[in-house]
Amino acid sequence: MAETVKLLLNGEWVTSEATETVPVYNPSDGTEIAATPLCGASEIDRVVQSAADAFPEWANTPAVDRARVMFRLVALMETHFEELAQIVTRENGKTIEDARGEIRRGIEVAEFACGAPALLMGDSLENIAQGIDCDTIRQPLGVSVGITPFNFPSMVPMWTLPIALVCGNTYVLKPSERVPLSAIRIGELLAEAGLPPGVFNIAHGGKDAVDALLAHPEVKTISFVGSTPVARYVYETATRNGKRVQSAGGAKNYLIVLPDADLDSTVAAVMGSAYGCAGERCMAGSVLVCAEGAGDRFLEPLSEIAREFRVGPTDRDPGVDMGPVVTKTHLHRIHQHIENGLQEGAELIVDGRDVQVEETPHGFYLGATIFDRVKPQMSIAREEIFGPVLSTMHTDDLSEAIARCNASGYGNAAVLFTSSGGAARKFRHEVNAGMVGINIGVPAPMAFFPFSGWNNSFFGDLHVQGAEGISFFTRQKVTISRWIDTKRQFF
């Protein structure tokens, strides 16, 4: 029987009192490698209270000392880089190269947080009126909560926890019950970096645990990443309970190709965008729009490479192009999307359901899949599939392609492949998405820029990463001062 993972509570690894667990699988071979306890409200309360008790002392710790913990964390993550990547591959199924990229992006946020003394500085102005000065300072809010998804078990927690901690908040992480192992290793490294007990804590569970966190009076901020329906629920519930919220949802990202785009680099970028991480990411390119006849040039080489894509067990074969999806349930869900596309009349030109992995027949595999002649009203064009399925459309011109993109309702990413500066400028100005790529398949910003989803891809005002992250995890206090010179007044 697989071992049940533990909670991190006030610096101690504690066995949960929960009687119900969720299996954690190695997606490459279908074996159960751990079990996640489904904590109830009473255990969630204990974890949050641990963070609340640690808050006053941590908030009063000098910013430079909080930053030094992040410096040590960065060094530890570099030392354990390959181990961290292997954990991601084992519990999530992505290739080792994708896992390494995930760890690198997480480290970059911790590196950004090392600049806390400069990032947290306020403003001041002398003589805003005669003899009156004004200044601002940034102060932490209290207990911050991160509720993170299965697709980036290391990077998404690292999006927020380094910034929350250097700002002086304490933190409770509720990782996806499907992938708790990366979160646990991060907790171990934070302790080794010298983070005091109670400043960082880990809770486990499903909806009941989430609801307890959203309602807890000691919780001040909620950071969530997941599907759009759940993101909207988290935002509405948490704000109703007085929390500050950043809630990132799903996406339907459009990749637009013009005939003048470079063939080789465009095909490589589209393949990486659509099938990297097995399509299980909110920045995946899921709709390819071939404008002005670009499909005649790009679709055949794209299909040839997709048919040759090597799919297999990522935990034992570092040479595969793509690994499994996260669970058998999710695999069945993607299969249903493919069936829906066929029933609605789309043309399936590359069928990934035919893939066979003989050495690990119980893994959760689906090959690269491409639909052509997809219409805007079809479900595969509107709904987030979250798997290695690319839907292809055709338009007469760029304006029509942009209109298709803007009609989706989401707004995470949009990409244009072209050699025309004029087309690129038009696209950048008109497209309704928060992250725009020009000849970049996955326009995910680095840690010092915001991860800026729009529309139904994000609920809230301040995004993760960058200056917006600092603003989210602090509140400003304004002091207006006038000092009377008593000596001058009376003598």
Active site residues: 282
Cβ 138 vs Cβ 470: under 8 Å = yes
**Residue 410, token pair as written in the block:** 């989401």
Dihedral (C-alpha) 302, 306, 308, 314: value to the nearest 10 degrees?
140
Of 388, 384, 392, the closest CA to residue 413 belongs to 384
Q: Which letter, b or e, does each residue of 466-487 get, where b requires 16 or more Cβ atoms within 10 Å of its Cβ?
A: bebbbbbbbeeeeeeeeeeeee
Give the three-state DSSP class for 300: helix
Cβ 273 vs Cβ 415: under 8 Å = yes
How far is the C-alpha of 449 from the C-alpha of 333, rounded, in Å?
A: 34
Placement of tokens 């794209």 in the chain: 302
Of 52, 70, 65, the closest CA to residue 142 belongs to 52
**Residue 39, token pair as written in the block:** 């904590």
Distance of CA 58 to the CA centre of its chain: 26
Give the three-state DSSP class for 12: strand
